[in-house]
Amino acid sequence: MRILVTGAAGYIGSALVKALPGDVLATDQAGGDKLLAGNLAYPQFARSLITPDIGAVFHLASLVSGGAEQNFELGTKVNLDATRDLLEACRLAGHRPKFVFASSIAVYGGHHDLVNDDTPPSPRLSYGAQKLVCEILIDDYTRKGYIEGCSLRLPTVMVRPGGANTAVSGWASAIIREPLAGRDYVCPVRPDTRMACISVRRVVEAFIHASRIQMKEPQKTVLLPGIPVSAQQMLDAVKGRARGKVRFEPDPTLQKIMDAVPKETRSRRAEALGFPCSKNIEEIVREYEEDYSDPAVARHG
């Protein structure tokens, strides 16, 4: 059995590829060492990836929140149309592969301090709407017997190495990464700004776990637990080791968005199904320092 990973050059994708056993077909738009280069926005490429020997698909490729909001057409092609093309290719292949999808708590929109299994989705950005549509499609393709699907709603995953991307939550990694690397950083939110967080290690474990379990319920979406962490707590977690300085200069537009995002996610369903969670921000920082201790890796990802 071969395993397909889309978005394999990304933060989560690259960590997942390293952790997966067996024969992995890793693809990303940028290409690179041992990566198949290709743009999922082109249906022919997306559909060509599902061959009879593909037994599991980890679909992580996406245009993240800020980028999808700025470029609606591209966001729709990458986040929605490409997912449908992969699902159609699975249907036509006829062998019911496992299909694990990276969704997001962006499906809940804003103004929820706590999100749990009973919180109804209500996206306020195109990115969240696109993810929600994909979840519904995955449930339906599973119901029809074309795939065995599972969608994971991810809180903010940190600490991301390398430079900033277009995610509105990018500051949450930068406030840890930059001072540890000896670089000063201007944080664009208030110190008391909180968000729901999980480490990349726990997310990789969750993806692998999702590919191995059987879910009996018709609804195949699982909310991963995210611990509530403030910007000040993130900064405090690197005290004594940070060589760069941080100052807070809130950006009104970004602050308004962050004030509305979920501050914590809890899921009894995820716990019952055996999905992992992060314990605290100190654990998240420690894992980052262990995994990206090489300054060159931390800088370039």
Q: How far apart, in Å, do the first and last CA atoms of the chain sit?
A: 29
Catalytic site residues?
127
Tokens for 285? 């920082």
- The secondary structure of 167-234, three-state, reads CCCCHHHHHHHHHHCCCCEEECCCCCCEEEEEEHHHHHHHHHHHHHCCCCCCCCEEECCEEEEEHHHH
| Whole-prediction pTM | 0.92
CATH number reported for the structural domain that contains residue 130 in this entry: 3.40.50.720
- Answer whether 60's CB lies under 8 Å from 24's CB: no
Sort strands 264-265 and 114-115 into parallel, antiparallel or unpaired: parallel
Strands 156-158 and 148-154: unpaired
Q: What is the pLDDT along the chain (301 residues), one digit of tens a residue?
A: 899 999 999 999 999 999 998 899 999 987 777 899 999 989 999 999 999 999 999 999 998 878 888 899 999 999 999 999 999 999 999 999 999 999 999 999 877 899 999 999 999 889 999 999 999 999 999 999 999 999 999 999 999 998 766 677 889 999 999 999 999 999 999 999 999 999 999 999 999 999 999 998 999 999 999 999 999 999 999 999 999 999 999 999 999 989 988 999 999 999 999 999 999 999 999 999 999 865 444 443 4
Domain membership of residue 247 as a residue range: 2-300
How many domains, the chain? 1
Checking DSSP bridges between strand 98-104 and strand 148-154, what pairing results, if any?
parallel
